[in-house]
Structure 1
């Protein structure tokens, strides 16, 4: 292109997707593009902090930004008990209501997003979400799908069902889960397909809410964790990334009395921090170990009145920089955390509670990247033993170091940005 291409990045309203896109945008900017972000009002300032222009989706009529944020916090709080259920039991209790809420979000955003895209007039749109917004498909420019959930999001006979937490060889479990998934998502998907058709898009097959891009699809699936697909994805439209780790500010760990002890970082993502009771139980266990702990508690710092000397709480951490300095990462299995742990060769203790966390927890356990651990059904002794065992596993650390060297030799952010620039220069089809 003869001018700097304007690339609009539109991540879903979660920090995992948002910060993956920051990493890609950083490299796009270095390659001469002009990245801008479209974001929900609750993410105001997140992208500006990294030097990117933000365009904010207007809240739906009669609903303020604060009301929308309160709605989602209330939604998650209501569903906290369901996070203790297995993936099959979560289908009617959590997954189906969540898909309904996601469809609500798409419907409410459509008019404002259409107007915003008409105003921005980007040369390309990067959509990091689990659902298609008709305004994106109808914007008149190429759109790129970013798959920042687990690779299971794109179906294949050899890949376990999305959100199932199953192993690839569990054929009986697969059949049961797929049947139940279609049953429980049918109502939301029908409503969504009706909305698509009303905006000029074709209906999607049962169970799907997002099609592949005809231009480019980016999968945050490190080679060490990839599945052997029965139907390989076309290389001209599907690009695998070795994670997507952004450039972040340096982090210096605060002083704690056990200053030379191992460092453990814990974060349960933008949803998991709401479960202050669980995190409080874990902090009580942390107090009994000769280990330093950094704990991301989101916006709930005031919920913790007694903090032991070897534990430091924060509302936000520059996660890649922290993980790089850590000896163990305790997380919920979000794909961002899963990939960052591998990128820096750090063992994981994965405590999944929903969505693709189940899939990444299974992969962590099966491939020796760490250990899957039940979210709440554990005793203090069991949690202590799991942490100590992972900190002491030298063989696991050596294997992870080899994986990290391979991933760092081919950064996913750079490969993603290059693929986007190549697609723009080649003038690939828009739809």
Structure 2
């Protein structure tokens, strides 16, 4: 078989980046060459896994460390908005995000034609929420990867993306969509002007991307997927049952207290760790409960004093190697954390703050795989009660075991690689 080059272009965030790493590892196992088109701040991430990465500016060029700080500052500047409902975040965090995302598409268009001409990929995989016209126009098949909640692909019967609405709250769906479209219209009009300048047709209000005519890979697991009014055709849409990457082994350290008690893992992701006050509160509460806990505090480790004897903090954990060893997880609802907990059969308490964390928090509870908790408005007793249920509830354990068995039998990265292999050979995938 002739080796083909498959290029991955994930969003500049660890969730999409590491999902694509998992698929790229499986692609190379089939004999193809995987490369990355990368925000300059993420080039070292892909190189760390042994992949060649080509920088594509998604904003005004700046040093990599400054770029990382930009998004950290962006998130930390919105911490007051994390107390708001998804609906009340539309005209602040969501609006600011979409402004930045549209700007990123404009910047990318300056570099992408030249980078694609250099790389000469046979297939391009894009994990983002916005169209990059140069990729669509390159003349090779392109695949859309949806690493966020599956409601990124809209359907009238399911909650709108980012809304956090319950599946059957149709009045809430309509209210959120109307407000989103109202707030986003000037940004959307600007994006449509950019599309026109690139020779592309305008998108309907609220839409910034389209489904690929070749293939769309959804990381969402079947066990939590929505009941759509228009089911997605299998020849163009495939669920990957998560896409858990291989990570270095992790040995759970010995704790100074509660070393024989159930183990928790707490993480709000690489950016959410800036919410130091919340993490300190969780640590203080867990310190009084019959558990052990590993807590990811990101780059803020020096701000933590007097950590309880049953808690160990660190700046980073190899999460796919940690979660299999714990009894419950407290996280923010990012799609990696969400799918990894389901993949390994671990109950989760999700305290969302932005983006699809709201959707995943609602979904984990309404499908019986864990609990949604408000990020700030909770008591020690609330957390203790939900942790006890996570560790002891037999119905939840059975549900998680079944979901885990189903997901692990699928092997998402290998399934994705097999689909990409079919497409890159010029063959049709029939579902």
Superposed pair shares fold, TM > 0.5: yes
**What residue is the counterpart of 1:355 in the other structure?**
355
The CA deviation at 1:140 is 2.4
Please show how residues 156-171 of structure 1 align to structure 2 within 5 Å: 156-171=155-170
Aligned to 2:411: 411
SS across alignment from 1:229: coil
Gap runs ≥5 in structure 2: none
Aligned counterpart, 2:385: 385
Give the TM-score normalised by the residue count of structure 2: 0.96
SS in 2 for 1:22: helix
Q: CA deviation at 1:113?
A: 2.5
SS of the residue corresponding to residue 384 of structure 1 reads helix
Conserved? CA contact 1:241–1:416, under 8 Å = yes
Partner of 1:244: 243
Taking structure 1 as the reference length, the TM-score comes to 0.96
Give, in whole Å, the separation in 2 of the partners of 1:132 and 1:306: 48
Equivalent position of 1:367 in the other structure: 367
Quote the residue 1:320 is aligned against. Answer: 320
What is the CA–CA distance in structure 2 between the aligned matches of 1:295 and 1:28, rounded to whole Å? 33
User: Which residue is 1:269 aligned to?
Assistant: 269
Partner Cα separation in structure 2 for residue 167 and residue 108 of structure 1: 36
Unaligned residue ranges in structure 1 (runs of 5+): none
3-state SS of the aligned residue for 1:300? Answer: helix
C-alpha separation between the residues in 2 aligned to 1:168 and 1:63? 42
Distance verdict in 2 for CA 1:44–1:309, change over 3 Å:
farther
Secondary structure at the aligned position of 1:9 is classed as strand
Secondary structure of 1:55's counterpart equals: strand
1:428 shift after superposition: 6.0
8 A contact 1:82–1:94 mirrored in 2: yes
Partner in structure 1 of residue 4 of structure 2: 5
Within 5 Å, give how 1:416-431 maps onto structure 2. 416-427=416-427
Once the two structures are TM-superposed, the CA of residue 138 in structure 1 deviates from its matched residue by 2.3
Give 1:68 shift: 2.9
Asked whether the equivalents of residues 124 and 143 of structure 2 are also in contact (C-alpha less than 8 Å), the reply is yes
Deviation at 1:58, TM superposition (A): 4.5
User: Any conservation in 1 of the 2:59–2:103 contact (CA below 8 Å)?
Assistant: no
- In the aligned structure 2, how far is the partner of 1:68 from the partner of 1:336? 22
What does residue 334 of structure 1 align with?
334
Q: Are residues 1:43 and 2:62 paired?
A: no
Cα RMSD after superposing both structures: 1.6
Moved more, 347-356 or 267-276: 267-276
Q: In the alignment, what sits opposite 1:138?
A: 137
The answer to whether the aligner puts 1:293 opposite 2:293 as a matched pair is yes
* Cα deviation 1:121-142 (Å, max 9, x = unaligned): 1111110111111222222221
Q: Deviations over 1:98-139 (max 9, x none)?
A: 100111122122212222111111111110111111222222
Q: Which residue of 1 aligns with 2:401?
A: 401
Distance 1:62 1:215, change over 3 A: closer
Does structure 1 residue 81 correspond to structure 2 residue 80? yes
CA distance in 2: counterparts of 1:329 and 1:78, whole angstroms? 26
**Is the 1:142–1:428 Cα contact (8 Å) retained in structure 2?**
no
In structure 1, the residue matched to 2:279 is: 279
Moved more, 130-139 or 217-226: 130-139
Change in 2 beyond 3 A, CA 1:428/1:203: farther
Alignment size in residue pairs? 428
Cα drift, residue 23 of structure 1: 1.0
> Does the CA-based 8 Å contact 1:59-1:65 persist in structure 2?
no
- After superposition, the C-alpha distances for 1:208-251 in whole angstroms (9 at most, x for unaligned) are 11111111100112111011211111211111111111112211
Deviation at 1:79? 0.8
Structure 2 distance, partners of 1:60, 1:164, is 27
Cα 1:34–1:168 shift into 2, 3 Å: same
Superposed CA offset, 1:146-179 (max 9, x none): 0011011111122111111112221211111111
Cα separation, 1, equivalents of 2:396 and 2:280: 29
Matching residue of 1:255: 254
- Do the aligned residues in 2 keep the contact of 1:369 with 1:400 (CA within 8 Å)? yes
String of CA shifts for 1:6-45, please: whole Å, max 9, x gaps: 1111111111101111111111011111111122222232
